[in-house]
Structure 1
Amino acid sequence: MARAERPRTPNSKQQAARTPSAKAPTGAQRAKPPRVAKIASRTSFAKRVKKTRARPAPTANAQHPAPPSILHPPPSTTSRAEPPAGDTAPRRKPQTDPDTGFVAVGRVAAPFGLKGELKVQVLTDNMARFHPGARLWAGQQKVTVAASREAQGHLFLTLKGFRDRTSVDKFRQAMLQVPETDLPPLPEGEYYRFQLVGLTVVDRAGNVLGTLDEVIETGANDVYRVHPPVGPDLLLPALADVIVSVDLAARRMVVDPPEWT
């Protein structure tokens, strides 16, 4: 153990051995030491104190301008430490539309926790798409669902082969999609939303009302938002007496708009 250094005090025997014998001092020798030594000691200490006092910084005036080092101090040479290259990677932009020939069933919000879970926004009514063993495309990569759970209104997925947060970070903001060929056929009169978006909407007389831009979910029935060439959007309820016909091959929808539209 390291100890602070300090002078050792010899014992009486060591002192006796090291100290030469001396006769008892006489009366003259018992006189007090001169005060000059003490005064000189204090004076030297005072001089040292004066030397160490900080001098006021020189000020600039017309007769005595300040030196250049004071008027223009040198720039600081210190700089902030740059983060590692791996920490400055740009964030992935969210994928807004599925790839050509695919249908979106969900969107990854972000990794969750440290064990490779993904927090997912569901974009389908068919929750079997997220059951263990289901196959999806996360962006351009084919993946298999290992486990899924729902908590607080959110869906959390674990993918096979991805066991930590770092491995799934590349799926951040990615679209979860399936090929259109994997979709089961629907009964007559029912359509997938991606089939309706983009249709040209016309009335019974053939007048173009606009393009079907969005399918809005409501409690009772869906509502189609139609974007016209001029003017505000039209909202058409998906009812049998409003939607006359749908021709997917011709990409055309014939409607009979209500009077209040």
Structure 2
Amino acid sequence: MITLGAVASAHGVHGQFKVKPFTVVPSDVAAYGPVRLEDGRVLQLTVKSVVKNLVICEANGITDRGMAESLRGQTLSVDRAALPDLDETHTYHADLIGLGVQDTAGQQLGIVVGLYEFGAGEIVEISLAGSNKTELYPFYPPFLVDLNILEGKIVLAEQPASDDKGPDNRVDGDD
């Protein structure tokens, strides 16, 4: 199952609700057919509008505010097969979870446990081999050297050591 979004809150009194989308195009939370909730229910969503990065939706059988409030926090998922195939230059984040990560010398770093977009580029979270720790790495060139889903591996270049200098070459805290 691929998670497309999560219900944030009820909207109004007629059963509409707000969805925090995890899709590139917010309205795509309803583009791939019926969605499955964590509790097993299946809903057919209709997008009413997109407001401030939230999608206002209606769904079959959700007719009042109380019913909409009961959805709060539930994730909305579809079968992987419902999503369109991508060209070779694109991947779904879900396809990267669990892949092995190594550095350019072939040293195993760990496995992918998450991917995040913070505005300045994608970041990959790696569960480090031989420890309980995770670490965040840039997930874009020049740090992303190779991505091979068929071989189940990602190669990342070593991150430059942080010297705590900002973009103006001053150490943080200097005036």
User: TM-score, normalized by length of structure 2?
Assistant: 0.75
Of 126, 142, 149 in structure 2, the residue corresponding to residue 248 of structure 1 is 149
Moved over 3 A (4+): 130-134, 166-170, 229-235
SS at match of 1:188: coil
2:6 corresponds to which of 107, 112, 133: 107
Return closer, same or farther for 1:147/1:220 CA change in 2, 3 Å cut-off. Answer: closer
Specify the code of the residue in structure 1 equivalent to 2:85: P
Q: 1:253 to 1:127 in 2, by over 3 A?
A: same
Alignment of 1:178-257 (within 5 A): 178-228=78-128, 229-230=130-131, 233-257=134-158
Q: Which structure dedicates a bigger proportion of its chain to helix? A: 1
Gaps of 5+ in 1: 1-101
The structural deviation recorded for 1:132 is: 8.3
Is the CA contact 1:132–1:146 (under 8 Å) kept in the aligned structure 2?
no
1:118 to 17, 21, 40: 17
Larger radius of gyration: 1
Residue 169 to residue 226, structure 1, CA distance change in 2 (3 Å)? same
**Structure with greater strand percent:** 2
Contact 2:32–2:83 (CA<8 Å) still a contact in 1? no
- What percent of counterpart residues are identical? 22
Distance 1:232 1:133 in 2: 36
- Provide, for residues 207-260 of structure 1, a one-character-per-residue CA deviation record: whole Å limited to 9, x for no partner: 111222221213342122223234864432222332232232443212222343
Segment of structure 1 superposing worse, 139-148 or 192-201: 139-148
- Report the aligned-residue RMSD: 2.7
User: How do 1:138-153 residues align onto structure 2 when only pairs under 5 Å count?
Assistant: 138-139=37-38, 140-153=40-53
Query: Unaligned 5+ residue runs, structure 2?
Result: 163-175
Aligned AA (2:97): V
CA distance in 2, matches of 1:152, 1:246: 33
Equivalent pairs counted in the alignment come to: 160
Is the CA contact 1:133–1:144 (under 8 Å) kept in the aligned structure 2?
no
Larger relative contact order (CA 8 Å, sep ≥ 6): 2
Aligned-partner residue type, residue 123 of structure 2? V
SS in 1 for 2:89: coil
- 1:171 aligned counterpart, secondary structure: coil
Partner of 1:64: none
Structure 1 residues 116 and 247: alpha-carbon distance in aligned structure 2, compared to 1, 3 A threshold:
same
CA distance in 2, matches of 1:211, 1:178: 24
Residue aligned with 1:167, SS:
helix
Measured at CA, do residues 114 and 132 of structure 1 come closer, stay the same or move farther in structure 2, by a change above 3 Å? farther
Q: Distance in 2 between matches of 1:243 and 1:147?
A: 36
Q: Which residue of 1 aligns with 2:74?
A: 174
| CA deviation vs aligned residue, 1:40-87 (integer Å, no higher than 9, x gap) | xxxxxxxxxxxxxxxxxxxxxxxxxxxxxxxxxxxxxxxxxxxxxxxx
Q: Is the 8 A contact 1:130 1:157 kept in 2?
A: no
* Residues 158 and 210 of structure 1, relative CA distance in 2, 3 Å threshold: same
**C-alpha contact (below 8 Å) 1:131/1:147 kept by paired residues:** yes
**For residues 103 and 169 of structure 1, do their structure 2 counterparts lie closer, same or farther at Cα, with a shift above 3 Å needed?**
same
